[in-house]
Structure 1
Amino acid sequence: MLYFVIALKSEAQAYVDRYKLKKSKLNSFSLFENEQIRLIVSGIGVTNSRLATQSLINQYDITDDDIYINVGICGATDKYEIGTLIQIGRVTYDNSSYIFNNKKRSIVCLDEEASDTKYDIVDMESFGFYDSVIHSPAIKNFHIIKIVSDHFEPESITKEDTKALIFNQIDVINGILFTEE
């Protein structure tokens, strides 16, 4: 089973449409699923991401074949083109860094939107997801995958843009999920 934790409905909509996921509820979260995918919409922020991820972990038995994935948009410096897919291997949050794959990029998880280029890549959910999966020993395979949506101008991205950015990378994301370790 693929377990997706996605912050925004507009990010999730690409998967809902592509895989014809059916809507239900899990605790206070929207859940979309079919026979191979469960996708939870967490809402914005570390706490929401942590709670949504933990809800999935608590609700479903975890097998060695399960893959947990945090997919979403991120802000980045202009050295990254809009639409660039970035695999994350290090999350920095609250002045602490957590490395889980040295071969992948770093992201800074913030509690509010960034409006300057102090950081290279930023989001608001990756640490909450990471914190939940890393403390669940049964989870053997997890990924954090971000797509650059803006250059520290979050107000410039629309819901339609967000859905399109995710939709355009679904096949690449699937390739990552089914070819790595």
Structure 2
Amino acid sequence: MLYIICALKSEAQAFVDKYKLSKNKQNSQVTLIVSGIGTENMFEATSNIVNSMSKSDTIINVGICGGDKKFKIGQLIDAFEENLTCLDYEVTYSGKYELADMESEGFLRATQNIKNRYIFKVVSDHFEPQMVTKEKTKSLIFNVIDDINNKINFKADN
């Protein structure tokens, strides 16, 4: 089973559309959870899933993040390979952080004993959160789903 945890409904909607998920946001291969914004919401939602996972299951956190101008809007970021900073507020200036999100730390805490865990973020803005819309968020995530699947070796039944 692939467990996908997103903070926002607009992030999750990309997966609902891609995998044609039912109203309960799952099928035989994928379970999608919307945690809500923030580290503690992500920690609680992820902890609930971790307790029911088998060793062969994979869990990923997918969402948007702000990024320095050296990152392109729409660029897929593997948080285990890049310097992602988790904050409890939106960043509206650049220079201090390369990449910033609001949930990754909660996911990391909840999955510390899980082997098959990943964090993927998509750069949505250059620390201008007021520029991010629901439609843009859904589109940015949808555009990288195949890349994420390739990175985690997930083959969806279509």
Give the TM-score range, shorter chain: over 0.9
Identity %: 52
Q: Does 1:55 align with 2:36?
A: no
Higher strand share: 1
1:43 Cα shift? Answer: 0.6
Give the Cα–Cα distance (whole angstroms) in 2 for the partners of residues 22 and 155 of structure 1.
Answer: 31
Q: Does 1:80 align with 2:55?
A: no
Equivalent residue, structure 2, for 1:149? 124
Equivalent residue, structure 1, for 2:136? 161
Q: Does 1:178 align with 2:153?
A: yes
The number of equivalent residue pairs is 153
Give the Cα–Cα distance (whole angstroms) in 1 for the partners of residues 147 and 50 of structure 2.
Answer: 25
Give the Cα–Cα distance (whole angstroms) in 2 for the partners of residues 115 and 158 of structure 1.
Answer: 16
Give the Cα–Cα distance (whole angstroms) in 2 for the partners of residues 146 and 133 of structure 1.
Answer: 17
Give the Cα–Cα distance (whole angstroms) in 1 for the partners of residues 139 and 116 of structure 2.
Answer: 26
Query: What's the RMSD between the two structures over aligned residues?
Result: 1.1
What amino acid does structure 2 have at the position aligned with 1:41?
V
Give the Cα–Cα distance (whole angstroms) in 1 for the partners of residues 7 and 132 of structure 2.
Answer: 15
Equivalent residue, structure 1, for 2:19? 19
1:56 Cα shift? Answer: 1.1
1:140 Cα shift? Answer: 1.7
Equivalent residue, structure 2, for 1:93? none
Deviations 1:49-104 (A, max 9, x none): 0011011123x2x2222111000000001110100001011xxxxxxxxxxxxxx1
What amino acid does structure 1 have at the position aligned with 2:45?
A
> Runs in 1 of length 4+ with deviation above 4 angstroms?
none
Stretches of structure 2 lacking an aligned partner (at least 5 in a row)? none
Equivalent residue, structure 2, for 1:111? 88
Equivalent residue, structure 1, for 2:103? 125
Give the Cα–Cα distance (whole angstroms) in 2 for the partners of residues 3 and 171 of structure 1.
Answer: 16
Give the Cα–Cα distance (whole angstroms) in 2 for the partners of residues 106 and 63 of structure 1.
Answer: 29
Give the Cα–Cα distance (whole angstroms) in 1 for the partners of residues 30 and 37 of structure 2.
Answer: 21
TM-score, length-scaled by structure 1: 0.82
Secondary structure, counterpart of 2:88 in structure 1 = coil
